[in-house]
Homo-oligomer: A and B are copies of this chain.
Amino acid sequence: MAQIVGKGKLRMGMVGGGPGAFIGPVHRMGAELEGRIELVAGAFSQTAERSKAAGEFYRIDPARAYAGYKEMMEAERKRPDPIDFVAIVTPNHLHLPVALAALEAGFPVMSDKPATISYAEALDMERAVAKSGLPYGLTHTYAGYPLVREARAICASGMLGKIRKVAVEYFQGWLSRAVEAEGNKQASWRSDPAQNGPGGCIGDIGVHAFHLVEYVTGLDVTALNAELRTVVPGRRLDDDCNELMRLSNGATGVLMASQVAAGERNGLRLRVYGEEGSVEWYHEDPNRLRVRWVNGLEEIRHAAASYLSKDALAVTRLPIGHPEGLIEAFGILYREFADAVLGWKTGKANPVPDTLPGIRAAVRGMRYIEQTIASSKAQKWVEF
């Protein structure tokens, strides 16, 4: 229980996450999991009435369920017990304006991904974060799993030798039909370029896969050769992507993302091959990591096992064999963000740990979306 520092709970204000939202309650559960953060305020929806209803759902003080994010920031700043940071869980087009307002008001920001709706916006965000000096975190959730940390530690340790090849895929099937035309709220805003930005499938899940590659290998993607498609007739954004990648050390790779892979659930799988062996992690079996050596020996490493790296053990809560899942992974990112907020409050330099996806991941991710679209249009390799 060493993770707990400081007294009292950090107060979170949420923007977005109103009735019908999926990710808002998940952020709340993740944020509050360790008892260090408490949701106390929110601008949950675009009408005062619906924001109130959400406030009731979250059981917060009705006075702190605001009609808009600007109102929230203004009001909270004047309170004796203001929020300590803002969590942004709106549709993508609001990420930047909300974040800018928060930073300006002096609130650290924890944002859902993708960071913005364009690379240009991401650069704006980067500048604003730098100028503010405030902690900024981005919920690339998968970075919160212990065995993703283990894979990262293995790559960093050099045990695999030089990385040669990467295969990452993120397969879902829930958009196999035009469910956005049938009133599915999640599908609806995601298929609207104005709210979602120009990357459909790649903005929703491809960017997770991309991040995972760079996060685990410690390498940068340097070039892409993509084929982006809209498979379901009438859909306004891409729903499927295959692309070749090149990495900064000369390795190559493949990234596949699809939301029309009928029968798939939420299948994010990463495989990294080095000279001496390889690692494989699969999101639907998150508490195991397969490590394979060049002689054919295969190890299965289990979450919470004593032989794991320090980095992996630091983020495991339960004993071996006791499954943790997505909410716990969110919890890890919020734990590290809380540490960053506390560090910032106490004047610590660079309080955001490099294990927590932050502004660099934000910029890289938006660049990924932009260049994937560019490559697919041009039908050729594009430099990154």
Contact = CB atoms under 8 A, between A and B. Distances in A.
A286 B288 CA distance: 13
A67 to B, nearest CB: 21
Given A167-B256, A262-B277, A305-B297, A321 B35 contact: no
A137 interface: no
A177 B274 CA distance: 11
Main secondary structure of the interface of A (DSSP, over half): loop
Contacts of A57: 1, 4
A102 to B, nearest CB: 23
A187 to B, nearest CB: 12
**Total identical chains:** 4
Contacts of A287: 284, 325
A326 B318 contact: yes
Interface in A56-80: 56-59
A253 interface: yes
A225 interface: yes
Contacts of A291: 263
Chain A interface size band reads 35 or more
A301 B299 CA distance: 9
A128 interface: no
Interface stretch (A22-30, A191-199, A340-348): A22-30
A276 B297 contact: no
Interface in A306-334: 306-307, 317-328
A264 B242 contact: no
Interface of A: 1, 4, 7-9, 19, 22, 25-26, 28-29, 32-36, 39, 56-59, 160-161, 164-165, 167, 169, 172-174, 176-177, 225, 227, 229, 231, 240, 242-244, 252-254, 256, 258, 260-267, 273-278, 283-287, 291-302, 305-307, 317-328, 379-381
